Amino acid sequence: MKHLHEDLLSEAREFFIEGDYKSAEPILQQLLLQNARNPEIYQMIATIYYDQGKFNQAIKTFKKALEIDPHYTDASVGLSIILNDLGRYDEGKKVFLEAQALLDQKKGRPHPFIEEKFASKHEELADLYFQYKRYEEAIQELGKALNLTNTRKADLTLRLAEVYVQSGQKEKAIRDLRRLLLDQPDFNPARLKLGIIFYNSNNIAEAVEQWENILLNEPRHPEATKYLRMAQAAGITTVEL
């Protein structure tokens, strides 16, 4: 019986990872009928409910997973995201922060893999806040993600710069991008964005300098070439980030 249970769970997990929820759901429901107390099963079903728009069922099922294992971070993150989607921001943030605190308490200093996982979820929360123009919250979440990751600092700095620009804090965007380029001078996406920020601030010379530096490293860079040509033309309009 145990072997059959493990085989079913493995099959359901495979379908779930592939995004084939239609095939995964009946297997997961079958596992629940066997009185399975595995938080992963509830977490997968809750995710499927969420995908189907069954938000109340999804919330209840995520909470069931956490009743079984309060440290099951995938369920905590899923619950926090759906609460944010429903506009229940404070609840979503509370669930997420509690999960992180529990994990830190249980394991002391988290393994780098766990740190990266939390960084990814902070980034997801930042995206949600950004969509609703809650820029300060988005900035806070991206800051937390930056503190946790060792592998995605450049990309997250780029994202943070965009939020700063949208929130009217161009100086902070310029500051962070300059710091990033001191550390990674060949990171062309940062130079491209920095040039756009300068250009939209009517600092054409600085913008052109950034784009020309890109072409020194990558002479056929399409976007840098396009912006330089535009900068040389008359009647230039604002460049979109």
Length of the chain: 241
Task: Give me the pLDDT at residue 82, please.
Answer: 84
Q: How far apart are the first and last CA of the chain?
A: 57
Task: Give me the pLDDT at residue 113, please.
Answer: 63
Q: Which two tokens stand for residue 88?
A: 């229940």
Nearest to 180 by CA among 203, 220, 206, 146: 146
Q: How confident is the model at residue 160 (pLDDT cuts 50, 70, 90)?
A: very high
Q: How confident is the model at residue 117 (pLDDT cuts 50, 70, 90)?
A: confident
Nearest to 89 by CA among 58, 50, 131, 60: 131
Q: Are 47 and 56 in contact (CB under 8 A)?
A: no
Q: Which residues contact 96 (CB under 8 A, 6 or more apart)?
A: 76, 77, 80, 121, 125
Q: How confident is the model at residue 3 (pLDDT cuts 50, 70, 90)?
A: low
- Measured CA to CA, the distance from residue 159 to residue 157 in angstroms comes to 5
- Measured CA to CA, the distance from residue 195 to residue 239 in angstroms comes to 10
Q: How confident is the model at residue 37 (pLDDT cuts 50, 70, 90)?
A: confident
pTM of the model: 0.56
pLDDT cut 70: percent of the chain above it: 89
Please state which of the ranges 18-22, 90-94, 156-160, 168-172 shows the lowest mean pLDDT: 90-94
Q: Which two tokens stand for residue 97?
A: 């922060």
- Measured CA to CA, the distance from residue 135 to residue 128 in angstroms comes to 10
Nearest to 65 by CA among 55, 75, 73: 75
Task: Give me the pLDDT at residue 234, please.
Answer: 43
Mean pLDDT of 57-86: 86
pLDDT digits (tens, 9 = 90+) for 190-241: 999 999 999 998 888 899 999 999 999 898 999 999 999 888 774 444 445 4
